[in-house]
Amino acid sequence: MKKGIITVLGKDRVGIMAKVCTYLAEKEINILEINQTIVSDYFNMMMVVDLSNSKSDFATSVDDLDAIGQEIGVVIKLQLEDIFNKMHRI
């Protein structure tokens, strides 16, 4: 399984999740887990996704999600999960 972490940070508004999830569905990227908080109007979301069957390559998805983020005024990042595992797990 090729796991990625998507983070969304920015001012809350209608349709952030919808935008991200629509994109993921189009590319057949499966959502494994979602974790989300809103602190004083600030939207903070983390998603664990499985990219094993993704129809686009990883770097393209990074760019696509970044573009979607810019369109709706939030920062969206897709990163391989390993960077977090390596840093926070012994």
Partner 1 sequence: MINIYEVNETNNMIQNANLDVRTITMGINLLDCASSDIKKFNQKVYDKITKKAEHLVKTGDDISKEYGVPVVNKRISVTPIALAASAITNGSYVEIAKTLDRAAEAVGVNFIGGYSALVHKGMTPSDEKLIRSIPEALASTNRVCSSVNVGSTRTGINMDAVKLIGEMILETAELTKHADSIGCAKFVVFTNAPDDNPFMAGAFHGVSEYDTVINVGVSGPGVILKAIEGCRGADFDTLCEMIKKTAFKITRIGQLVAQEASKRLGVPYGIIDLSLAPTPAIGDSIADILVEIGVEYAGAPGTTAALALLNDQVKKGGVMASSHVGGLSGAFIPVSEDQGMIKAVQMGALTIEKLEAMSCVCSVGLDMVAIPGSTKATTISGIIADEMAIGMINNKTTAVRLIPVIGKEVGEMVEFGGLLGYAPIMPVNQFGCERFINRGGRIPAPIHSFKN
DSSP codes joined into one string, 20-78: HHHHHHHTTPEEEEEEEEEETTEEEEEEEEE-TT-SS-HHHHHHHHHHHHHHHTEEEEE
Q: Which is nearer to partner 1, 15 or 86 (CB)?
A: 86
Q: Which is nearer to partner 1, 21 or 46 (CB)?
A: 46
Residues 28-47 that bind partner 1 (CB under 8 A): 33, 35, 37, 44-46
CB-based contact 44:37 (threshold 8 Å): yes
Q: Which is nearer to partner 1, 17 or 80 (CB)?
A: 80
CB-based contact 68:6 (threshold 8 Å): no
5 binds partner 1 (CB under 8 A): yes
Residues near partner 1 (CB under 8 A)? 5, 7, 33, 35, 37, 44-46, 48, 58-59, 62, 77-89
